[in-house]
């Protein structure tokens, strides 16, 4: 039934609002997970997804390849999330995170996979989410972000290093 999406994306591009609603709803879980992975706060997630949906509606006519709707709207969402983070300065870099965790016992006991995502810089986070949450290949990510595959791989290597630290710290705490 996945193929249906492409058909409805075509219709949405031509102004069919029901079709647009349909394809957004089909991607609802994905949108939530991506936004939550970055923002970890329901109200911010709701805000980001709402802005994303309105922007997607305004710009869907620009989408050239219907089969990339999901990745296209994910890209818009990531930009919205990054903007919210920058505006609210909620970003916690890994160095700060490690510093905090050495002094704050609550953080030590509440180590969370989403903290790991939020500790990455914008560009690495974008690639990490597309790879781990959207299950996209390196090739597809390269295509979506218009960056070389080598750059995708190097950002994934950076994020794997953080992931390794995350699991090591988690095991230490157990």
Partner 1 sequence: MNPDDLDTKFRNELKSKTEVPEKFYKDLDKTLSKIKEERKMKKSNKWITSIAAICILALLSGTGYAAITGKLKIFNNNKIDEQYDNYAEIVEDKFVENDYSKITLKEIACDDSYLILSYIVDVKEPGLCLLDDIQDDELLGFDFCLISDVMVNGKLCNSYSLNKQTAHKISNNQIEVYCLISLMGQELSDEFDVSIENFEWRSSNVSVNYHVEHSSKTIINDAISLKVSKSDAMANSTSFVPENSIYKYNDVTLIVEKIYKTPFESFVMVELQEANYSSDRFSENREDAYSWINLMILDENNNEISANLNPYGYVVLENGEYLESDGEIVDFTRSHPSTEFENATAVTKMIITFEEGLDNTKAITIKPYYETFLDNGAFEKEYFDSLTWYPVQEGTYSAENESGGKLEISQVEISEDKILFYYTKSGSVAYLDGKIYIRNKTRAFNYFLPDITNIIDENGNHICGFNLKDNGSYCLSSLEEGDTDDDYLTYKYSKDAFLENIEELEFAIGLGDEAHQEILGEGLLVELQ
Q: Measured between alpha carbons, how far is 35 from 42 in angstroms, rounded to an integer?
A: 9
Q: What is the DSSP letter of 110?
A: T
The site that binds partner 1 (CB under 8 A) totals a number of residues, namely: 59
Shortest Cβ 23–partner 1 spacing (Å): 10
What is the x/- site pattern for partner 1, positions 141-160, by CB under 8 A? Answer: -------------------x
User: Who contacts 159 (Cβ-Cβ below 8 Å, separation ≥6)?
Assistant: 120, 124, 125, 127, 128, 131
Q: Measured between alpha carbons, how far is 39 from 53 in angstroms, rounded to an integer?
A: 17
Q: Report whether 115 contacts 92 (CB < 8 A).
A: yes
Q: Which of residues 32-51 bind partner 1 (CB under 8 A)?
A: 32-33, 36-37, 42-43, 45-47, 49-50
Contacts with partner 1, residue ranges (CB under 8 A): 1-7, 10-11, 13-21, 24-33, 36-37, 42-43, 45-47, 49-50, 53-54, 57, 61, 64, 66-68, 70, 112-114, 117, 132-133, 135, 140, 160, 163-164, 166-167
């Amino acid at each position: 039934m996945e193929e249906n999406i492409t058909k409805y994306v075509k219709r949405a591009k031509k102004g069919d609002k029901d079709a647009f609603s349909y394809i957004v709803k089909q991607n609802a879980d994905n949108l939530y997970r991506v936004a939550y992975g970055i923002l970890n706060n329901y109200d911010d997630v709701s805000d980001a997804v709402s802005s994303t949906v309105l922007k997607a509606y305004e710009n869907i006519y620009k989408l050239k390849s219907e089969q990339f709707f999901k990745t296209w709207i994910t890209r818009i969402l990531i930009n919205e999330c990054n903007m919210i983070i920058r505006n609210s300065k909620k970003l916690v870099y890994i160095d700060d995170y490690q510093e905090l965790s050495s002094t704050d016992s609550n953080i030590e006991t509440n180590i969370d996979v989403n903290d790991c995502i939020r500790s990455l810089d914008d560009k690495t986070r974008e690639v990490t989410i597309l790879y781990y949450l959207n299950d996209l290949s390196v090739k597809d990510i390269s295509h979506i972000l218009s960056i070389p595959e080598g750059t995708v791989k190097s950002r994934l290597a950076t994020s794997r290093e953080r992931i390794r630290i995350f699991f090591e710290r988690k095991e230490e705490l157990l």
